[in-house]
Each structure stands twice: as structure tokens, then as C-alpha cells.
Structure 1
């Protein structure tokens, strides 16, 4: 007889199994990843490590060894894990703000290929950089952004030990000329470099990346950096400077950089140097595809018109080759490539012509066929002679072409030069900040004409424009058919033009609008529309208004904007991230309308029939800061959106602290309230 008997017979046993199965499914349904599907066993194990990192995995090391000893290598619990799992574990710890100094010591294993610490810059110290240099010498990707406490010498010493780097981010660090020179000498495989917001880095220091600039800084006087780290006495590791001839760096070719981000560097004392430096980088790095630096558009104009006389003072001061010489070398390289391509094309065409002649000769007599073959081999091809004759005469007239595909921070003043030199651009960021309103509108016309060059190929467009959104519509109609990402910052009066933006850009995956708060009530009411603009591929929506403390309640007369917002929320079934901050319209009524699928016709101006019924089903993150949303609407939102993970209700005046107790039953949703 069994020790335990199930009462109720086989029927009760079957129902019990169904109940257990149902309970397991409910438990598993709560453990979903960012895409909403059930998580893998590997990820669940990593999440368990994250939850128990402090109490279990690093407790003994933190209490006994952290500050008492220095270990060049640690045979800890994570040494046997593959590098990609350790990288994911570090990412999860950083994103959940659970990464500690002791935990990072244990996770610095030799198999790491990527180390991204931009989300926890406070952990980055000089001693930790010594650990990175000693243990992670095979890194391909290193991100130390925001580590303002790291001295320049520590950065140089660390970079000497990671020669395999392909991507490096030092944004917001004390990076200077010595660090750049160290990168050139020791990181010979580097392709991506981000030194934005490095205020100790002068624009001229970037010329060390091309290998022919001389260090002019007193801290790094014409020397080559050689870093040595002692294995037995790591505390005495130092970065020594050994003098060498200037030809040491000149003999090395430029780095294979394809991406340089260097916005907001230096202290602004040498702003004119940025134009010359940008020109040198464009002409000296042929593999460069993305460049972000002040003066980029002016540099393109300088190269196009060959106005190199303005750079003589800079070249004499920095002891760098004249820009005209660099231009001639790049022009000669491009001409040689074109000549080779045309020669190969001519040879291919000649071979095709020979094949056609041979087919005709097959029907002639054998004796005549052999004679013609011998004569044809001795006589050079007519097409090849013609191609070689055209090459020498045409190359001198062809302009130099830059292969940039991504540019940021340019203005409309020299946009035409950028259009002529860079025909392959697919991502561009333009600033239109002229104080005069009439001048801004004229620049919008120039912008529309310039963007015509990349019509049909532009994928991402970012515009900074402190004016009416209506002024930007011509530019959006030119490029909107191919845009996947659109960012508009500083615009005004978006209530009417928002629907036009949706019509002009039907393929958007990302729409970011940072608008100015309205100063006067809006009374515009749209006419009835028969068609509903939809963005079926939209995944990220951000419409944030600047905070206006005078107007805390929304203006219900923003009827047209409310209609457009309803179209966005109801016509974008793939939405995952939504941010709606300080809206000047009743957001609570809009969300109720969307969640109840238009049960109450509170916005009769636009006909919403035919829109998708899967409203916000994929929503994961939503920000509702400074809106009139109520707690009942938030609860309804969390019930309907099964994948929701994060809700920001900061400064929502219709919600109080006591209302948050109703959110406790939604355990998977993180609610922020200030």
C-alpha cells in the first residue's frame, strides 16, 4: 500500500495534474524577457547570480581579501564561464545597479572580449584599471565613459596592455594628447573611437591618430610611450616615457578608423582649429565612415574649393605637412583606384567582345580562323586603348569623393559642399540655431534643397530647430520616404503638423520629438479626415514638452494634437517604448480611449476606423511624467499590456503616494513615483 493516497480517485488525480501544470505555466509566464517570451534557462541562471551576487558570490572575497591583498589573477567561480556569459552578467548587474567593486574584481576574467562600464563610472578607479590591464589583455571593446576620476597617465597605462582593441569609448574622461598618442602606438587595430566631452583634449591632438603629428604638449614632449607592468610587484607598475626619434610614429600607417566621435572637446580656446583638424582627418583616413566634430561642414567646403591658404598658420604651429600635400596624395590615391577599376572594366568588356568574335569565327574556314586569331593577339584591343586614353584626361576633372556615411553636428551654411563631397550619407544631424526667424526659415529651404541629394537613401535624420514644425515639412517630404529614425528638438507648434510628419515618414521605427511648451492656448481644430496615417513599424515614440511651471493643467483645446497622438498609439502595433512628458492635452482621456478601442468617441475629428486592434500589446516601457493620468488608467494599462516592465509616474498631480498600493499586485512592473 502506498504511503500517500490521493483522495478522489483518478479524476481528482487528473485535475490535480492540470492544476500543477497551470501553476507552473503561471510561474513561467512571469519570468519573461524583454521581448515578452519565456526566458531561457541560461538567462534565468544569470538572473539568479545577479540576485545573489552580494550575499553569496562576493561575500567571502569582499570581507577577507578586497583591500588586504592584490591578485594579478583570481581563480574564482567565474573563470570557467564562457566570455559572452560573463559579459551578459556584467551587463545585467550594471543595468540593475547591483555591480560592486568586489564583484567586478571577480568578473575580470581573461576570456572577456567586451567590457562596458559606462553605466557604473563610479567604480572605475586607478587600482581597478591596473586589474583590467593585468587580466583582460584580450579585450576587443572597452567603454570607460564618464570616469572623470581617472588620470591621463592611468588611461595611457591601461591602453598599453590592450593591443587587440577594436572599439574604445573615453567620452567624458580626462583624455588628453598623451592618451591619443598611446592609442596610435599600441592600439593598432582600433576602428571605433569616442572621445566626446573630453575637455582636456585639444582638437589638434587628434592629428596623432594619422601618425604624422608631433606631440607639442609639455606633458608628452616628442616621445614614445612604453608601458611596463611588473607581474611580481603590481603596485610599482608605471608608465615610462622613453625619448625616440620623431620618425618612429611617422613610419607607422594611420589607424584603420572608421568611426570618430569628438564633439565638445577642448575648452573652446581654439575653435578655428577644429575645421583644419576635420579636413586633415577626412583626407588622411580613407576608411572613415562616421565623423562627429565641430567644423565638419566648413572642412568639406575648404576641401571642395581647395582654400588651403587659411591653414598655413596651423601647419606651421603644429609642424604638420601642408594640407595641399595631403589633398594631392588622397587625390592621387583615388585616381589610381578609378584607373584600376576602369582598366579592369575595359579588360572585361574586351574579353566579352573576343568571345563574341570567336563564336562568329567558328563558322569560317579553319585556316582563316588561325590567321585572324594570331593578328588579334598581336593587335591591342580598341576598347582598351580608348579606355586608357579617356582615363588620363578625365581624372584631372573629377572631384575628390569622401566616403562618409554618418555625420553629426553640422549646420546649413556649408551643406552644399557636404552634398558634393559625400554622396553616400545615410545618417545626418543638422543644427539650425540662427537667432533671426527669417534667417532660420531661409536655412530650412537650404536644408530641403541639400537633403535632395540623399533622397531615397537617408535612414536617420536629426534636426535641432527652435522654430515652427511647419517650416521643416518640406525637408521631411524630401527624405521621409526612406527614414527609419527621426529626431526633432526645440520645435514649436506641433499640434497641426504632427499628422503631416506621419504622412511624410511612413516607415519610421523611431520618432523622437522634444518640443517647447506652448505659451498661448491653442484653439486650432482640424477638419474631418478620411484617411488615418499609420506607422506600422514604429517601436519607439517620444513626445516630450519642456516643463512650464505656469501651466500645470493641460489645455483641452489642443484637439488636433490629441487626434494625432491617438493615431500614433492606435496605428503603431509594434510600440515598445513610449515617453509622453508634460503634454498640453488630456492624456488620461486619450489613454482610456486607446485602451477601450474607441468606445467613447471623445475625439470625433479623426475617423479611427480601420486602425489596428492590437493597441499597446507590445509595450514594455512608458514614461508619463507631469501628465494628468489617473491611477485607474494606469491600472488598466498594466492589465492590458502583458509585457509592461516600467512605468514612470513622477510629478503626476492626479496620483498620490497612497494610490501606489494598488500596483503591488503587478510584481513584474517597476513603478517610479516622485
Structure 2
């Protein structure tokens, strides 16, 4: 059955006790006497003697339990703190708190401020200038502007990861300050490897191309203009990008790298690429041959050369494919690609494909024996010769997958249309085979499956010893199978039965009563 809560460690009990008395004792004294005296630096308490990791754990515990007050946060801004996240409490992050962080926590290597919109640009500049050891900085959905990016590019020399997604004051031209300091005339953020810049407005093709050339260690640049910027760089037509603000042109950057269209073909170190259109695959492959993770949108007309291009990536291990045209593509079209990638593929995610031939799904899984995660959103076309469904057999065949999937930890299947009766036996047998062939499965999501899943799930429950999350939203499963699941052995922590047509309120109440009575560590969702 799902496990009972583990006996907490002595460390956990001590932190819980400290969190329980934080507000009533130390935070109260600080609030009454010192909270608005910003020259006051520290208050002595047991938290001062905690190691860095324990202070961070205490902050997380207070945040999860919604007990992190302004006073408690002030008290835990200790000099030896190395990681600080204000995401759980963005309303507490004001300008005064920002100044305290600069004063007290100059050893920070990780600072997460995403969503902290009350911090002014001036304070964000002070943080960038006053925390020289930062390795990761999260500024998504803040008031970050060109001055903040200039400070980050000039002062955060160790920075490896930066998130400025959704910052409305960040213009494409402002992004260039991350790659070059026009005042000091030197490269900016020389160690930057990951830059997340999603949901930014404006035509950013030239600015993104500038970053790709100016940041030689960049492995991830999440921005919608990346494919077009790669086209520009691949074309070699970099003239006309001179700038009066002190930034080098694209031609100058390319020469400084030793890359030119006539001599050495441009190659970048990008490992992850998002939102690539099918017709841009050849360009992206030529410029980023070492890519490991790729997200591709396929158009209406089948393009075998585009899918063949994917097979040529030697390092590709994580692939997301979606259909962006009016008509979805057939799942069977991916079989040659899956066979070409073979055992290299670790993660495969599919959106809006049509499963015309039900055997294409088991064939696809069989071609990828090293998968760790598989997710598919499939549409099954109606059968014009549909006949009434036959009676469901007590057990489905489990030999549709001839080999095991020993590494598979997450499997998700969502059906976006009714499934004709002719497809149900094959899909049921595929799921039954999968559950028997994937002993390390931890997450299983079967969404909107319109045929009964009892005979698929029941035989496999004993073998799923590592299953932690089971989502059956909008699927057909009976209360008896859920009861069997509650009585099985395993570490199940989450069970989602939302909008399951065969589960009623009285069933849900019975499940909750059993969980409470047996003190199981299991969260059940139903509506």
C-alpha cells in the first residue's frame, strides 16, 4: 500500500521546532524593537549557529508552511548564506529587504527573485553590483531594465545561469549588455551558460545573434528569435550591424571568434534549442551540431528530409515534436526517425499526432529502448465501419513490446478524441505490455482514456514497486481497482482521479477515510 509518513530525523524535528517558535519568540522581539531600524544588522539566536544548508532548509520550511514573515526573513539573512529564494514570498521582497541582502549576504551564489515585482531597478542594480559571487540569478517578471542588465554584464563575472523571462522593461537592444560592456570595452558575463529570455517583446533577431557570438560558453538561450538568428549567422550576411553605442558589429564578433562564412563554418556550443520550425532544421543542425535537446514544430506537408535531418544529430537525446499546421501528422511517420535515433533517445514528447495505425505506438516504444520519459498527446481518427465493442477480456496480451524498457521512469498518454472499438484492443495491450516491461516507472499518467483500464492496471500493480504518481484524470477506472491500489505495496504519493466517470463522491470519501485511518502519505484528487 502507499507508505506511511517516514519518521522524521532529529535534524528535521529541530528545524520544525525552531520554525514553530520563530514567530512567537525571536521574530516578535525583532518586530517590536528592530524591524524598521535598517542600520541594525543581526539578532543573536539559535539560527546564527546553523550551517548554511540548514539555514536554507529552514527558509524553505517556513516558506512551505506560510510562516515566513518579514521579521523572520530579516533574521535569517546571515553572512554565510549561499542560496536564497524569495519566490515563496514575493510580497515580502521590497527595496529595504534588497538593501539588507546586499549588506548581509555578500557570499550568495544563488539568488532567486522571480516574481518580486516590488524591487526597483535601482535596487536590482545594487544587488548585481554588490553580490560578485553569484552563479545563478533569477530575475523573471521583475522590473529589470537596461541598467540592471548592464550591471549584471559588468559585475557578475562568475554568473552561469540567468533568467530574465517576462521582464517588460527589457528591450532586445538591452540584452546586448549581457555579452559586452561598452564602457570597459570587454566581454560581459564570460561564464554564462544558460540564459532564459522568454516572453520578451520586440524584434530581437540581431540582438540574439549578437549574444550567440559574444557569449562563447552559452549552451542554452531560450528566446523565440534563436532560429532566425541562426539563419542570419549561417548566411554570413553580417554587414550593416555597426552600432553607435560602443558595441562591436556582428562581423567584428565573428572575426574575433575566428569564424567567417568564407573560411571556417560557424559552429556554436548550444545544447538546447526551442521552437524550431521544420524548414529550419538543416540550418540549425549545421550551426549547432552538438545539440542534445530539441523542440521542433512540424508543418502540414510531410517533409521526410526534415525528419531525416533529426536522425543526423549525434548527441540528440531529448526531443519534443509538435504539429503546428492545420492537419496533424501520422504517428507512423516517426518510426524511421525513432529507429535512426535508436538507443540514444532518453526523452520523447509528442503533441497533436494522429494514431491511425494503433500498432504504431508499440512500434515506436520498441524502437527507443533507452527512454527515461515518454509523453504523447494523440488523436485517434473515427472508424467508419465501427462495430459495437466486444466484451473486455480478463487479461490483455503483454507481448506487444518484445523488449523491456528498463530506464523508463515517466509515461504519459493523453487521448484527445474518442477511441474506436477497433483500436481499443491494441491500445489496451500496449499499455498492459508497457506496465509489465517498465519496472522502474515512477510517474504514470493516462488522461482521457475512454475504455476501462481495470484489466490493464490490476495485473501490473504488484510489479510497479517504484510508482509515486498515478494520474487517471477523465479515464475509465472502477473503485475496485483503486481499492486494490490502496492495498498494494509501493511508494505512491499522489493519485489523481479528477473527473473519472466511474468514481463517485461516496467512493472518494471512502478512499479518504482509508488514507486517514491507515495514516498513509497519499494525496488523492477528485472532483
Query: TM-score by structure 1 length?
Result: 0.67
Residue 313 of structure 2 is matched in structure 1 by: 454
Q: 1:254 to 1:536 in 2, by over 3 A?
A: closer
Asked if structure 1 preserves the Cα contact closer than 8 Å seen for 2:444 and 2:470, the reply is yes
Q: Secondary structure in 1 aligned to 2:49?
A: coil
- Which of 293, 296, 307 is the matching residue for 1:427? 293
Residue 275 of structure 2 is matched in structure 1 by: 409
After TM superposition, list the pairs within 5 Å mapping 1:39-438 onto structure 2: 41=9, 44-46=10-12, 49-50=15-16, 52=17, 55-66=20-31, 69-70=35-36, 71-95=40-64, 99-212=68-181, 248-251=183-186, 254-266=189-201, 270-271=202-203, 274-309=204-239, 312=240, 315-316=242-243, 320-331=247-258, 397-432=263-298, 434=299, 437-438=300-301
Q: What do the CA deviations read for 1:487-530 (whole angstroms, capped 9, x no partner)?
A: 223333385432122112110112222x1565746969999966
Residue 672 of structure 1 is matched in structure 2 by: 525
Q: What do the CA deviations read for 1:73-127 (whole angstroms, capped 9, x no partner)?
A: 3323212111122223334454565544444333332222122344554543434
Q: CA deviation at 1:666?
A: 3.9
Q: 1:154 to 1:95 in 2, by over 3 A?
A: same
Q: CA deviation at 1:164?
A: 0.6
After TM superposition, list the pairs within 5 Å mapping 1:533-548 onto structure 2: 533-545=403-415
Q: 1:446 to 1:591 in 2, by over 3 A?
A: same
Asked if structure 2 preserves the Cα contact closer than 8 Å seen for 1:490 and 1:516, the reply is yes
Q: CA deviation at 1:328?
A: 1.5
Q: What do the CA deviations read for 1:34-82 (whole angstroms, capped 9, x no partner)?
A: xxxx87x3xx5225534x4554232224444337624433323212111
Q: Secondary structure in 2 aligned to 1:286?
A: coil
- Which of 467, 470, 478 is the matching residue for 1:619? 467
- Determine the C-alpha separation between the residues in 2 that align with 1:542 and 1:96: 31
Asked if structure 2 preserves the Cα contact closer than 8 Å seen for 1:648 and 1:673, the reply is yes
Q: 1:141 to 1:639 in 2, by over 3 A?
A: same
Matched, 1:583 2:435: no
- Determine the C-alpha separation between the residues in 2 that align with 1:97 and 1:562: 44
Matched, 1:497 2:360: yes
Query: TM-score by structure 2 length?
Result: 0.85
Q: What do the CA deviations read for 1:257-312 (whole angstroms, capped 9, x no partner)?
A: 1221212212xxx33xx221222112111122222222222222222221224xx2
- Determine the C-alpha separation between the residues in 1 that align with 2:349 and 2:32: 47
After TM superposition, list the pairs within 5 Å mapping 1:476-495 onto structure 2: 476-493=338-355, 495=358
- Determine the C-alpha separation between the residues in 2 that align with 1:102 and 1:569: 50
Q: 1:90 to 1:517 in 2, by over 3 A?
A: farther
Residue 393 of structure 2 is matched in structure 1 by: none
Q: 1:298 to 1:480 in 2, by over 3 A?
A: farther
Asked if structure 1 preserves the Cα contact closer than 8 Å seen for 2:443 and 2:467, the reply is yes
Q: Secondary structure in 1 aligned to 2:279?
A: coil
Bigger RCO of structures 1 and 2 (CA < 8 A, at least 6 apart): 2
Asked if structure 2 preserves the Cα contact closer than 8 Å seen for 1:211 and 1:253, the reply is yes
Asked if structure 2 preserves the Cα contact closer than 8 Å seen for 1:46 and 1:89, the reply is no
Asked if structure 2 preserves the Cα contact closer than 8 Å seen for 1:541 and 1:578, the reply is yes
Between the two proteins, the alignment pairs up a number of residues equal to: 503
Unaligned runs of 5+ in 2: 390-395
Q: Secondary structure in 1 aligned to 2:31?
A: coil
More helix per residue: 1
- Determine the C-alpha separation between the residues in 1 that align with 2:437 and 2:399: 15
Q: What do the CA deviations read for 1:214-259 (whole angstroms, capped 9, x no partner)?
A: xxxxxxxxxxxxxxxxxxxxxxxxxxxxxxxxxx332465532122
Compare CA radii of gyration and give the structure with the larger one: 1
Q: Which moved more, 1:517-526 or 1:97-106?
A: 517-526
Unaligned runs of 5+ in 1: 1-28, 33-37, 214-247, 335-394, 596-613
- Determine the C-alpha separation between the residues in 1 that align with 2:305 and 2:118: 44
Q: CA RMSD in A?
A: 3.3
Asked if structure 2 preserves the Cα contact closer than 8 Å seen for 1:557 and 1:585, the reply is no
Q: CA deviation at 1:180?
A: 0.8
Residue 241 of structure 1 is matched in structure 2 by: none
- Which of 506, 509, 516 is the matching residue for 1:658? 509
